[in-house]
Amino acid sequence: MQECAPCSDPHVGAGTIRSDRVTTTIQPRLTQVFRFVRCSYANGVAELVYAFDHGEELIETVRFPNAPALPASHKAAFDRALKLLHLIAGVSYYKAGVPPKIDVADGPLDNATADLLDALYLHGLAEFAYRNGLDLRGRVAFPHGGAAQPQASALNLPRRTLVPIGGGKDSLVAVEAIKSIGGEATAVWVGNSNLIASCAERTGLPTLNIQRELAPQLFDLNRIGAWNGHIPVTAVNSAILAVAAILYGYDSIAFANERSASAATLEYEGQLVNHQWSKGYTFEQLLGDWLHTQVAADLDYCSLLRPYSELAITRTFAKLTPYFDAFSSCNRNFKILGPKPADRWCGQCPKCHFVFLALAPFLSKPRLLQIFGRNLLDDDGQAAGFDALLEYQDHKPFECVGEGAEARAAMYALSQRPEWQEDALIARFRSEILPQLNVADLALEPWLEPSAEHRIPARLQHALAFFA
């Protein structure tokens, strides 16, 4: 759940993959069927089993620490959530071969579930498909037509919230917003990350660290030429947290996905490609509704930051000084942390570029430069990176970054400030890019206004005052 680490799979729990395995003989790109074999749960460990054709079973495990015994009244809800996790987590394996047929061992899915998965696999893998020159339209087809599921009832879940932590600014803002209304919450993350662990510790909240271990064979498949690339990792994590919410007892899962996550990265042969599709509002609605109807009527799935732009969030984050030397949104996914800014911010990737730019209007310049350890906007070498953010001569990068217009507004704000004006990329913006823009479109203020579109449950809506 590293906030937008490049979401191709080996990042997640890669530490558990072994490389000394006997190589499988299967040719992943020539497979015909992707099979959801079975899933099971016992003693805090969920096993999710997949296979290609009639090949070796691929077994993923998800470990829930200190799992309590499951009350009988929650059994049905838990099984539905686990089933969904099995179906969603399969995306990591499915994409290795992208075979023409999908088979679910215990029979076709009800239409609502099949639609959710068709949408997730098609849109969530859109970037993967684009980068590998594949077209998944018509190829992704989960078996439909199973019996409709009965409407789920309310489970009277405890009024507390799971807040996924990513080590970046967004989830920390969400945490502080919930803390500001005295809400009961747990900071949760999936996988091993020192960065996230140290950020979670700074929140002062109770923590929950769920482990996900990919099937080790996936690494072998990659070595023998499997398709590889970006997967909708937020969907996988959401499904894991839905299971966790039923297991441990939480009535809400509050992600920190902002408004701009819904904006597409580019359009390709008539299909919108959004790197952050599973962080977008469409997926939030699909999954939220599905959980209400099929798991528990009182389990809310939402993003607390949905009404806000990146800029509104960075403005709020700029007040959270205690996190400045701990957080990082960089997608270099540092596994080894050191004390220096360069140990947390690579300074080269779109996330570094964007967070730097979005924080700049709201922090004193020396403070911002202290956080990053260097001035990315005074470095000619970073021009192309910032151009992409501004959608100038390039499309928006395949990363979880704000909208182009948002980046332009931040850049414009800096270009009007004497302490920034002479920096290389600001000066370049003033002379080269600004004349092509309409200044009326560049105001910062409209970005600070919340939108009405969100699914935040009534219980948590007061927390939005934190952003005022």
Partner 1 sequence: MKFGGTSVATLPRWQNILELVATRRAEGARVLVVVSALSGITDALKQLCAQEDKGKRIEAAKAIAQRHYDLLDHMQLAVPDALGTKLGELAKLADEGPAALGELAWAALIQAHGELLSSTLGAAFLSHSGLPTQWVDARECLAAVALPNQNERTKLLSAMVEAKPDPALNLRLAKQGDVFITQGFIARESQGRTVLLGRGGSDTSASYFGALLKAQRVEIWTDVAGMFTANPRQVPGARLLQRLDYEEAQEIASTGAKVLHPRCLSPLREPRVPMLIKDTNRPELEGTVIGPEVREHAPSVKAISARKGLTLVSMESVGMWQQVGFLADVFAQFKQHGLSVDLIGSAETNVTVSLDPTENLLDSDAIAALASDLAKVCRVKVIAPCAAITLVGRGMRSMLHTLSGVLAEFGQLRVHMISQSSNNLNLTFVVDENVVDDLLPLLHELLIAAGALRTDDSALFGPSWQALYGSGEVPVPAASWWRTTERQRLLELGAKATPRYVYHLPTVRQQARDLKTLAAVDRLHYAVKANTHPAILKALAEEGFGFECVSPGEMKAVMAAVPESAPLLFTPNFAPREDYAWALTTRATVSLDSLYPLEHWGELFRGREIVLRVDLGRGLGHHEKVRTGGSGSKFGLPVELVDTFLKLADGHGVIVRGLHAHLGSGILDDSHWGEVYSQLASLAERIGSVAFIDIGGGLGVPSHPGEARLDIAALDRVLREVKAAYPHYKLWMEPGRYLVADAGVLLTRVTQQKGKSALRYLGVDTGMNSLIRPALYEAWHEIVNLSRLDEPATGLFQVVGPICESGDVLGTDRRLPEPQEGDVMLIAQAGAYGKVMSSPYNMRDEAEEIIIE
Site of interaction with partner 1 (CB under 8 A): 6, 8, 10-11, 14-15, 17-19, 219, 222-223, 225-226, 228, 321, 332-336, 340-342, 364-367, 369-370, 373-375, 378, 417-423
Smallest gap, in angstroms, from Cβ of residue 342 to partner 1? 5
Smallest gap, in angstroms, from Cβ of residue 319 to partner 1? 11
In the complex with partner 1, the residue whose CB is nearer, 230 or 279, is 230
Gap between the Cα atoms of 266 and 383, Å rounded: 21
In the complex with partner 1, the residue whose CB is nearer, 158 or 225, is 225
Question: How far is residue 326 from each of residues 166, 172, 338, 367, 454, measured CA to CA in Å?
Answer: 12, 11, 10, 14, 29
Gap between the Cα atoms of 423 and 16, Å rounded: 45
Record the tokens describing residue 53, joined without a space: 């054709």
Alpha carbon 448 to chain centroid, angstroms: 23
The H-or-E segment that residue 171 falls in is helix 169-180
In the complex with partner 1, the residue whose CB is nearer, 65 or 225, is 225
Q: What angle do CA 262, 264, 270 make, to 5 degrees?
A: 135
Smallest gap, in angstroms, from Cβ of residue 361 to partner 1? 11
In the complex with partner 1, the residue whose CB is nearer, 117 or 371, is 371
The H-or-E segment that residue 101 falls in is strand 101-104
Smallest gap, in angstroms, from Cβ of residue 94 to partner 1? 16
The CA-based dihedral angle spanning residues 375, 379, 382, 386, taken in that order and rounded to the nearest 10 degrees: 60
Record the tokens describing residue 380, joined without a space: 């000619």
Smallest gap, in angstroms, from Cβ of residue 58 to partner 1? 15
Smallest gap, in angstroms, from Cβ of residue 311 to partner 1? 18
In the complex with partner 1, the residue whose CB is nearer, 130 or 219, is 219
Record the tokens describing residue 28, joined without a space: 């992943």
Residue type at 152?
A: A
Smallest gap, in angstroms, from Cβ of residue 50 to partner 1? 18
| Cβ pair 84, 239 in contact under 8 A | yes
In the complex with partner 1, the residue whose CB is nearer, 221 or 305, is 221
In the complex with partner 1, the residue whose CB is nearer, 85 or 360, is 360
Gap between the Cα atoms of 243 and 180, Å rounded: 27
| Cβ pair 168, 327 in contact under 8 A | yes
Smallest gap, in angstroms, from Cβ of residue 364 to partner 1? 6
In the complex with partner 1, the residue whose CB is nearer, 37 or 424, is 424
| Cβ pair 290, 116 in contact under 8 A | yes
Q: How large is the C-alpha radius of gyration of the chain? A: 22
In the complex with partner 1, the residue whose CB is nearer, 309 or 375, is 375
Smallest gap, in angstroms, from Cβ of residue 369 to partner 1? 4
Gap between the Cα atoms of 183 and 203, Å rounded: 13
Record the tokens describing residue 353, joined without a space: 């570029």
